[in-house]
A = this chain, B = another copy of it.
Amino acid sequence: MRIAVVAPSCALKREAADRVQAIAKARGDCEIVVHPQCFLSDGHFAGPDEARLAALREVMADPDIDAVWFARGGYGSNRIAQAAATALPEAARTKLYLGYSDAGFLHAAFHKAGLDVAWGPMPQDAMREGGDSAVKRALDWIVRRDPTALEPGLSRPAMAFNLTVLSNLLGTALEPDFTGVDLLIEEVSEHLYATDRTMFHLTSSPNIRKAARLRLGRVSDILPNDPDWGTNAEAIIEDWCARSGVPYGGRADIGHDAANRVVPFA
């Protein structure tokens, strides 16, 4: 099993790449091929759009690569997602694509194009406290579709997104069909007033209103609200679910942390 790592958003830390390759070597069931593009730097990004797109399309087209693992989030995959999902080579259709956070732009476009995508931990997570368990969980899913890696509440077709990423792909060419899907969302490093505003945007969408349920992952590193918001993130999500008629399905075991579970799109 050969797993390619590319960075469609921000650059990967060398230490994270080394750690992930060491874990894979110790397992003995997979090989991690870290594309040199992961370490490029161009302002905010892991290289210019052209370099990030070229690396991604290269591993997508490689029949010897079984899975494409997005190195990390940050920001930038939206700038190449539509081009990456266009004129797909046949080899792109036989592999798995795994990641989360900013990679959601790619998840949306690739799922829409019929590719096999999943939300789950990324190589950069090796740097987190407890990060080895996140890497293990991701590899358990990539290599042998181990069901213990899965988010435990999956009961129907599901998708998972960072809330801000999801809001920013609505109305774009990347937007998939949410009909009948359990939509799992999570958020990080936002003010609660911004989360409320994003939920207004999200639940105003006729497409989002066709989702079966919204389920809430962890909302972490919440920025201060002045004055105090008064309630909490779950109350915000429940409020907008009630206003829009989208059933609230309770909490989900995903988030920007080492405990983040796998959600295959279906």
Residues in chain A within 8 A of chain B (CB atoms)? 41-44, 74-76, 78-79, 164, 167-173, 192-194, 196-198, 200-201, 204-205, 225, 227-231
Known: A44-B225, A225-B44. A75 touches B172 (CB 8 A): no
Cross-interface CB contact of A204 among B172, B198, B204, B225, cutoff 8 Å: B172
Cross-interface CB contact of A43 among B75, B164, B230, cutoff 8 Å: B230
| Closest CB in chain B relative to A48 CB, distance in Å | 10
Chain B residue contacts of A43, Cβ below 8 A? 227-231
Known: A75-B196, A196-B75. A201 touches B42 (CB 8 A): no
Chain B residue contacts of A231, Cβ below 8 A? 43
Interface contact B168-A229, CB-CB below 8 Å: no
| Closest CB in chain B relative to A195 CB, distance in Å | 11
The DSSP consensus for interface residues of chain A is: loop
Residue of B nearest to A11 (CB): B227
| Closest CB in chain B relative to A189 CB, distance in Å | 10
A193 to B231, CA, bound (A): 29
Cross-interface CB contact of A168 among B167, B192, B230, cutoff 8 Å: B167
A44 to B198, CA, bound (A): 16
Known: A75-B193, A75-B196. A168 touches B201 (CB 8 A): yes
Chain B residue contacts of A41, Cβ below 8 A? 227
Known: A167-B168, A171-B171. A200 touches B78 (CB 8 A): yes
| Closest CB in chain B relative to A242 CB, distance in Å | 13
Residue of B nearest to A206 (CB): B171
Interface contact A171-B204, CB-CB below 8 Å: yes
Interface contact B44-A201, CB-CB below 8 Å: no
Cross-interface CB contact of A200 among B172, B194, B197, B204, cutoff 8 Å: B172
| Closest CB in chain B relative to A165 CB, distance in Å | 8
A164 to B194, CA, bound (A): 10
Interface contact A171-B230, CB-CB below 8 Å: no
- CB pairs A–B below 8 angstroms (24 shown): A41-B227, A43-B228, A43-B229, A43-B230, A44-B192, A44-B196, A44-B227, A44-B229, A44-B230, A74-B193, A75-B196, A78-B200, A79-B200, A164-B197, A168-B197, A168-B198, A168-B200, A169-B201, A170-B170, A170-B171, A170-B201, A171-B201, A172-B201, A173-B204
